[in-house]
Amino acid sequence: LKPNWLKPCMSLQRSLWMDAPGRRPPCPFRLLALTLISRTAALWPTDPVPCRDDLAVVAQRHFYRTGQAAEIGVLKGEFAGTNVDRWRGLYFMIDSWAYRPGDDDVDLNYKSDVDNRRHYMMAKRRVRHAGNRTRLVRGLSTDVAGQFEDG
């Protein structure tokens, strides 16, 4: 079973479900895929991860060695909000939340400090239900990498 048609579940989820306050309801296609996969094999390593929402589940089951995970490029925290529901350890959210001169990614590189502050606050709100298990780290990934031990 290779449910490649499920990979864009985040966009399907947005179009099929209305946002719940602070959290999104589960993607119906992801639930179907997990039901089908659970009958044949465990989620990863035998099957591809059907949806990016399942990465935290895979990490929790197979990579919880240090109890820490990091997301690089958080912006508004939509993905982080989903991940902290499934990841039980400490979750680092790394983003510059600032204008990056010379960065060609004009789509997500906002010059406005007001926009960047708003995105930071949105990310913070999206994970508040996880309490003290989240850390927002401001900076470029290459600049803050030295703050973390290899593991």
Sheet with 90-95: list strands edge to edge: 68-72, 90-95, 134-138
Task: Out of 11-15, 32-36, 104-108, 136-140, give the one with best mean pLDDT.
Answer: 136-140
Would you say the C-alpha torsion 65, 70, 71, 72 has a positive or negative sign? Answer: negative
Flag whether the pTM goes above 0.85. no
Would you say the C-alpha torsion 126, 131, 134, 137 has a positive or negative sign? Answer: positive
Q: Rounded to an integer, what distance in angstroms lies between the CA atom of residue 35 and that of residue 1?
A: 12
pLDDT digits 0-9 by tens, 51-100: 788 888 888 988 888 999 999 999 999 999 999 999 999 999 999 999 99
pLDDT digits 0-9 by tens, 37-54: 454 445 556 567 777 888
Three-state secondary structure along the chain?
Answer: CCCHHHCCHHHHHHHHCCCECCECCCCHHHHHHHHHHHHHCCCCCCCCCCCHHHHHHHHHHHCCCCCEEEEECCCCCHHHHHHHHHCCCEEEEEECCCCCCCCCCCCCCCCCHHHHHHHHHHHHHHCHHHHHHEEEEECCHHHHHHHCCCC
Which strand (E) or helix (H) includes residue 94? strand 90-95
